Structure 1
Amino acid sequence: MTKLNEVFANKKAFIAFVVAGDPDFAACADNIVALAEAGADLVEIGIPFSDPVADGPVIQAADLRAFAAGSTTAKVFELVAEVRKRTQVPLVFLTYCNLVYQYGYNEFFTRCAELAISGAIIPDLPLEERDEVKPIAEAHGCQIIPLVTPTTPPERIAKIVADVDGFIYVVSSMGITGTRDTINTDLDQLIANIRKYTTTPTAIGFGIHTPEQAAQMGAIADGVIVGSAIVDIIGQYGHEAPAHLQAYVKAMRAALPA
């Protein structure tokens, strides 16, 4: 059983997102450890990028804070190495294809293997080009996590989720990341369409930020992903964020169905 399989074994998963290097690298390591200690089953680490096409203002601002702290892909790996001295919580990267390409596919996923990074979410990697990356990642024990959106046709869902392990990132709403008061997508039908073709777990992200939403989404999918709300806490509290993150994660984790 892989680390990602363990995340979804016999429970609903709470997945937390941070931007690497926000507000700086030492504080970011503290935040990741705090999330893990509070009950996050998996931490998604965003590698800052200049053109994060999937991300809204909150995460874009965090990218800018990370760049001001000197973020590079190499420094992100150094961050993970420090985190690994303190926790073995499962980790995945959220990154964009150009960063992985520039670093070198084999070199990037070799470092992932060395640091027990279990997966990579690459929003701008289309299905038609996935085979350029996926075999290399999997050879290093790193799963490419696909995204399915509300407008993905069923016939394309079948291809996206074929031969996929880890989990499937289900985008709750059209648009960019950011908290949403209401989520109006027919997620029951979207998850049903996915489950026609795979038993791989699903996790819903984009917009979730309240315990009530976590409970609702957790009843539909195998896990929930929270990004902007966590990044906003970090933006508000800076180096004092860990205690606030822990309180938030405990409330969200407790709201998930058993």
Structure 2
Amino acid sequence: MDRYASMFTALRERGEGAFVPFVMVGDPSAELSEEVIEALIAGGADALELGVPFSDPVADGPTIQRAHIRAQEAGATLADCLGVVARVRRHHPETPIGMLIYGNVPFAVGLEPFYARCAEAGIDSVLLPDVPVRESPAFSAAAARAGISPVYIAPPSAAPHTLDAVAGASRGYVYAVSRVGVTGAEQAASTVGLAESVARLRAGAAAPVMLGFGISRPEQVAEAIAAGADGAISGSATVQIVESHTPAIAAARPGSRAREEAVAAMRAELRGFVAAMKAATRPG
């Protein structure tokens, strides 16, 4: 079994859902990205969804847009991001790692070399938030040849034929969007109609269904699982924690005790957030 299949099998045996946090690689720097990711894993993340900075992140709200900007200003490139993933993979050989990457990046690199580089770094899946499933065949074919699971978004209130297409094209997991709009914790997730969408996705032999957009509190994780999702993804709330600690880290001199304390405070808050969100996936 691949890492996603192994993870979901183990979670089902324990009666748990999955909790997957998102952060932007390179925010606030490539070095600190590893600190951030290690904190997420220490907090109990079942898998990771990691973003690659892009200049026009049309699916993202202001919080994650600012993370794209910070990472780009820090000079993060695709090669830097893949390097971070490769180092994390060496320390965590069993953790599923997904990457969220806007479609122009693989298009510019070339689909075959792009997915080959992802596989070499240890990436399990690639989610293309701006590539609709009707435009997916070339991306999916290149991903399959590299052993990467393609992930596509199931829009809210999508027509049955769209849900069927997403179900048929996605591997690893399906990203079910909880509401219309862009990413962000400012607007809460909605589970209205989710049970029907999940049932339709599963009828199409889909991979497990994860709910995203607007998931920022433990009760929202529990609601998503109660509505039939296999787990939840939280991005903006996690990115906000990184953002809130960035000024103190930036103000401290490298190597100083003040900087160590600022980084430690960020790690502690990330661990606590993930632990609380993960606890909401467990029965009772």
Which one of the candidate residues 216, 223, 242 is aligned to 2:231? Answer: 223
Secondary structure, aligned partner of 1:151: coil
Q: How far apart in 2 are the matches of 1:61 and 1:51?
A: 11
Q: Quick check: 1:195 aligned with 2:202?
A: yes
Secondary structure, aligned partner of 2:124: strand
Preserved contact between residue 14 and residue 223 of structure 1 (Cα < 8 Å): yes
Q: Quick check: 1:40 aligned with 2:48?
A: no
- Provide the aligned length of Structure 1 versus Structure 2: 258
Secondary structure, aligned partner of 2:58: coil
- Superposition TM-score, scaled by structure 1 size: 0.95
Amino acid at match of 2:6: E
Change (3 A) 1:223 1:63: same
Q: Which residue of 2 aligns with 1:104?
A: 110
Q: How far apart in 1 are the matches of 2:169 and 2:197?
A: 19
Q: Quick check: 1:135 aligned with 2:141?
A: yes
Q: Which has the larger radius of gyration?
A: 2
Amino acid at match of 1:27: L
Secondary structure, aligned partner of 1:162: helix
Q: How far apart in 2 are the matches of 1:184 and 1:117?
A: 30
Q: How far apart in 1 are the matches of 2:144 and 2:189?
A: 36
The alpha carbon displacement at 1:200 in A equals: 1.8
Q: Which residue of 2 aligns with 1:6?
A: 6
Q: Which residue of 1 aligns with 2:249?
A: none
The alpha carbon displacement at 1:152 in A equals: 1.3
Secondary structure, aligned partner of 1:117: coil
The alpha carbon displacement at 1:182 in A equals: 5.6
Most deviating of 125-134 and 144-153: 125-134
Deviations 1:174-226 (A, max 9, x none): 00000134626321222122222224200000001111111111222001000
Between the aligned residues of both structures, percent identity stands at 37
Preserved contact between residue 218 and residue 257 of structure 1 (Cα < 8 Å): no
Q: Quick check: 1:116 aligned with 2:122?
A: yes
Preserved contact between residue 20 and residue 66 of structure 1 (Cα < 8 Å): yes
Q: Which residue of 2 aligns with 1:73?
A: 78
Q: How far apart in 2 are the matches of 1:181 and 1:105?
A: 35
1:79-98 mapped onto 2 (5 Å cutoff): 79-88=84-93, 89-98=95-104
The alpha carbon displacement at 1:118 in A equals: 0.4
Q: Quick check: 1:242 aligned with 2:245?
A: no
Q: How far apart in 2 are the matches of 1:77 and 1:183?
A: 33
Amino acid at match of 1:252: M
Change (3 A) 1:216 1:75: same
- Superposition TM-score, scaled by structure 2 size: 0.87
Secondary structure, aligned partner of 1:133: helix
**What is the CA RMSD across the aligned residues, in angstroms?**
1.5
Amino acid at match of 2:152: P
Q: Quick check: 1:252 aligned with 2:277?
A: yes
Q: How far apart in 1 are the matches of 2:55 and 2:71?
A: 11
Secondary structure, aligned partner of 1:100: helix
| Unmatched tracts of structure 2, length 5 or more | 247-262
Most deviating of 195-204 and 242-251: 195-204
| Unmatched tracts of structure 1, length 5 or more | none
